[in-house]
Structure 1
Amino acid sequence: MSKIVPKELSNSDVNSKKVGWTERLKRFVKEFTFFALVFTGITIWQTWDMLSTDGSVQIDNISLPSLAGEVATLTENDKPTLVYFFAPWCGVCKMSIDNLQGLNTDKIHVVTVALDYDNTQEVAEFIGEQELQVPVLLGNKEVKRQFQVKGYPSYYVLDKNRNVVSKSYGYSTAIGMKLRAWVNG
């Protein structure tokens, strides 16, 4: 049986390994920075036409019919509200709406608003496929216009005074929704 004897590394071998590691780190940082800039640019472009989040836009506490047939207000007076706008035909909505489940409803009021639906049965079937424990309100063209909803899903976070403080468009993970709620709650 032969012994494996480790090869002695010269200083140039050690230095080349350090240089290789350093170069890989630099490349990673460059690629990560590029990705972050592209992601930020796309996010800004997607939300460009949405309501301003500088606190200057205050939403009236509108009342809408719920899927259950009751009339409910969009916000609650004592806590911030996350408003999730969806359409029952929206595939991205189907993938992301369950991510609302992880939010702490003791700290933030969560409400979903259906838009661009043909009838309430269509909304009920969509919601029936999900395991939602949050109110489902039936929106209309006026609500869509007031919130400047251009696509689905769209999200807004309103502070306790109903000022728009955060917005987003498209898929959001459960962590992303929790982060919005935490930062703005």
Structure 2
Amino acid sequence: MTRLKRWARELGVLALLIFAVMSGVDFLRAPQAPADFGHQPLQVVDSQNVTLLEQSQQRPLLVYFWATWCGVCKMTTPDVAKLAEEGGNVLSVALRSGDEDKIRQYLAAKNIAMPVVNDPRGELSAQWDIGVTPTFVMIDKGNVVSTTTGWTSYWGMKARLWWAGF
């Protein structure tokens, strides 16, 4: 039994260490929301203008910064699209991935349907100080609640959206 306790304790310490490192990396990579970001009109491809404030008023919003050329994004984008298809409050921003036709073609080829704001020259990502793709920003009622970068699972996204509502 003492051997089992030792393994459990070491596993707990390892989990805490991993959590601390991941939190530190997220802190260092965290984007900085521009002043009054909630009111800035954003043009969704094939749709109307929206603002992050109105999109996050009723329930938390996941803003997903990604790129067609990003290797990790190729793993996370289908999960974000699945979340959007299930009714999750999602808005994605395609960084330096070409014009709107190229974005449409990419999404159609991958059979992905989600709202996308195109940022062809990286101006929006520069305003947010996005240095890593993918970046996930949780917004509730116009306030940034949390951010994370790099790979995250479908369930991790769902949990972050759920937690952002508290």
Q: Normalization by structure 1: what TM-score? A: 0.72
Q: Does 1:83 align with 2:63?
A: yes
Select 1:138's aligned residue among 115, 118, 127.
118
- 1:39 deviates by 4.0
Aligned to 2:25: 45
- Which segment drifts farther, 26-35 or 149-158? 26-35
Matches of 2:23 and 2:98 in 1, distance apart? Answer: 29
Q: How far off its partner does 1:163 sit?
A: 0.7
Gaps in structure 2 of 5+ consecutive residues: none
Residue 147 of structure 2 is aligned with which of 167, 174, 182?
167
Q: Structure 1 unaligned runs (5+)?
A: 1-20
Structure 2 counterpart SS, 1:91:
coil
Displacement after TM superposition at 1:52 (Å): 6.3
The question of whether the paired residues in 2 share the 8 Å contact of 1:59 and 1:164 is answered with no
Where 1:144 maps in the other structure, the secondary structure is helix
The aligned counterpart of 1:6 is: none
- 2:40 matches 1:62: yes
Offset from partner CA, 1:139-170 (integer Å, 9 cap, x none)? 2533112222111110101111x110010101
**SS in structure 2 at match of 1:97:** helix
Structure with more of its chain in helix, by fraction? 2
Measured at CA, do residues 52 and 25 of structure 1 come closer, stay the same or move farther in structure 2, by a change above 3 Å?
farther
Tell me what 2:138 maps to.
157
CA RMSD between the two structures: 2.5
1:90 offset after TM fit, Å? 0.9
Q: Whole-Å Cα distance in 1 between the matches of residues 64 and 131 of structure 2?
A: 13
3-state secondary structure, aligned to 1:125: helix
Q: Give the drift of 1:128.
A: 1.9
Q: Aligned equivalents of 1:122 and 1:143: distance in 2?
A: 18
- Aligned-residue offset at 1:114: 0.5
Structure 2 residue matching 1:111: 3-state secondary structure: strand
